[in-house]
């Protein structure tokens, strides 16, 4: 029988999800800003080339995996479930972002699709890393 009160676990679950999202977002936006300041990326709001967006996509993959790992690490139970919930939320937010910016001519349309496409695989990888780590700790 579990003696942990349900509201506390829900709060820990929500906190884990928020922590993972904050880490992924902060790393992504900080890297974006550095690349804008160093003129690797064009100014904010200007059209991005496919090469620039490929670079942005490439660093978002490990950041998303790390964010999902953090979600799984901080989850009160079910680390893979929490990571996948985070991935699903990321997928929904990515689709919403793609829809909101689709007609703004910020760059090729493959990019928002590619960002949405990595949400669930990255979530699974982050969760799998945590589950593997937990198995290793048991030995």
Domain chopping of the chain, boundaries: 7-138
How many beta carbons lie within 10 A of that of residue 25, not counting itself? 12
Mean pLDDT value across residues 58-66 = 98
Say if residue 64's pLDDT is above 60.
yes
Mean pLDDT of the 49-68 span: 96
Can you give the pLDDT at residue 5? 53
Q: Averaged over 108-132, what is the pLDDT?
A: 97
pLDDT category of residue 8 using cuts at 50, 70 and 90: confident
- Whole-model pTM? 0.89
Tell me the three state secondary structure of residue 77. coil
Mean pLDDT of the chain: 93
Q: Would you call 1 exposed, middle or buried from its count of C-beta atoms within 10 A (0-12, 13-18, 19+)?
A: exposed
């Amino acid at each position: 029988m579990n003696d942990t009160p349900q509201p506390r676990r829900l709060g820990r679950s929500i906190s884990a999800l928020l922590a993972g999202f904050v880490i992924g977002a902060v790393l992504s936006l900080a890297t974006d800003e550095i690349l804008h300041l160093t003129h690797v990326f064009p100014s904010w709001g200007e059209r991005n080339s496919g090469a620039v967006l490929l670079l942005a996509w490439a660093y978002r993959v490990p950041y998303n995996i790390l964010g999902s790992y953090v979600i799984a690490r901080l989850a009160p139970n079910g680390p893979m479930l929490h990571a996948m919930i985070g991935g699903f939320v990321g997928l929904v937010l990515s689709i919403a972002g793609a829809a909101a910016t689709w007609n703004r001519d910020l760059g090729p349309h493959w990019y928002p699709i590619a960002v949405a496409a990595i949400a669930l695989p990255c979530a699974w990888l982050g969760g799998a890393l945590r589950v593997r780590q937990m198995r290793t700790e048991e030995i």
